[in-house]
Structure 1
Amino acid sequence: MLKETNCPREDRILPIIGTIPVSLLPKKEEIGARLGSETDFNQDLLHKYYNWTLTGNEIIVYTGYGYCDVEIPKTYTYLICFDEQTKSLDVLATVKFAIWNGRIPLNMIESGHHTFCIIEFENGIPDILKELPNWDDIQQGNYKYYKFGLCEKEDVDLILEKIANME
């Protein structure tokens, strides 16, 4: 388990790769079938998830593989636009739910697993995120892993330097 406190600051970026339609989120029946007789699962989390409804300040996104094990809710303070850094901006964005491998809501984003996240933006979804590809585009490979990402503002320079050295 790689906790966020042990994760290098330059790795602490939650990519926002593309949008996910509500219809792809796991339903109560599907989750129940996957969990079976599992009784240790966080019932409070499931209750919140089952009773959740998408609001105008929320977006469902594919975030790729978790950079470390991040407990949620998790709030980020900065949205990086990697291609046009002048469009990056201060935000208050909270990950409300993490859907592990698109199948089960967890109370964390797990390192190394495909994750859908439900993110709430305090001041509305930034217009720049309208450029995100949808799930169909992602499935066809029409996306860029590092186009947008959420992080802490104090980590931006370290993250940008690392990404620049990867290209």
Structure 2
Amino acid sequence: MATRARADRAVQKRLLEGMTYELIPLKNLADQSMFLPAGATVSVTCSPAKTIDDTLDLCAHYGDQGFTVIPHLAARMAEDEDHVARIVRRVNEQGIRKVFCIGGDAEPRGPFTDAAGFLRSFLDRRPEIDVVGVGSYPDGHSTIPEQALVDSLVEKQEMIRE
């Protein structure tokens, strides 16, 4: 029985070491982030109450503290093509290697209404990244028809493969 307990602890340790922690920019973020393990990977959400630049500012802050950061880039929060270019520049300057592109919950602030359109513009600028994550809604979405979700996911996958 002791051998199994050690094996279980080893599995738990390995799983915890590879975790990604999601950071939501709420008032208590600074207080709560002190509990993050040093050097952890953190995914920084893109709050509709803030901006993509705020998300990238948080990424810079946590990156400077030794965390690996993954910004959520919400398409509806991108203002225009110039803004996308600035986002790519900041991602490159900050050495960010992974991004997570979503449509987002905000009202559109520019021409992008879904992740696919934003992702195309983002990738066309050749960001120096290794990984792109995208939303997929495996359990469906309350306002988006299932076929539209499938079509969107296929479109994003094809873009990433290019």
TM-score by structure 1 length? 0.21
Larger Rg computed on CA atoms: 2
User: RCO greater where, 1 or 2, for CA within 8 Å and sep 6 or more?
Assistant: 1
Q: Which is strand-richer, 1 or 2? A: 1
Q: Which is helix-richer, 1 or 2? A: 2
